[in-house]
A and B are shown apart, each in its own frame.
Chain A
């Protein structure tokens, strides 16, 4: 399983005021809030952690076919080796995030080895939806779209 999430930073700035009273507390654990407060670029850290939670949630949602809105329970962790994870209940998802000036993109997988077999698709051609989940040649695909950016990925 794979999940991805892309954030257009210019649009995020327009759509959300992360400095709003109570906003961070509803989404981020105390440890995550500490990371945000101490980050060189707190805004970038907000959307980096958010996209990791979202990407991990997308896997969980597909595995369970349940909708939930509980970003606090998806906690971003970093192993001593630098490997990034998101935990939810007793499950771990592995995440890789690419940060640029304009966007933030996270890919989450449920097994580390999947990172070696990720395919990026340039467009939606050939993708069909079954029960709301996109597939390409019978393999599940994760599509994320925000503002100027779209990312379409699957596992080989």
Chain B
């Protein structure tokens, strides 16, 4: 999957949880889920579960601990997809 398609899928996943619409519209790879998008930390779990479902991957705990921004999420998705 190319990066653009992955970003687009990821945007659809995070959309229901964001609390800062402007930061969401200007989302880049350095966008932070909590600091920028103001996502509630408990909803990060939902994002991890949604990413697992949508991309058909399993995110282990070591990978999950880094998943605090768009770039890290994309890296993890990429790595897990290549392991499939």
Contacts and interface: CB of A to CB of B under 8 A. Distances in A.
Instruction: Give the size range of B's interface with the partner.
Output: 10 to 19
Contacts of B67: 69
A26 B49 contact: yes
A70 B45 CA distance: 10
Interface SS majority for chain B: helix
B44 A69 contact: yes
A27 interface: yes
B64 A23 contact: no
A22 B49 contact: yes
B28 interface: no
Given A67-B68, A70-B61, A23 B49 contact: yes
Contacts of B64: 26, 69-70
B31 interface: no
B46 interface: yes
Contact of A69 (B17, B49, B68): B68
Contacts, number: 46
Interface residues of A, number: 20
Nearest to A11: B40
B42 A15 contact: yes
B45 A27 contact: yes
Interface of A: 12, 15-16, 20-23, 26-27, 50, 54, 67-73, 132, 146
12 contacts: A12-B42, A15-B42, A21-B49, A22-B52, A67-B68, A68-B65, A69-B44, A69-B64, A70-B61, A70-B65, A73-B61, A146-B40
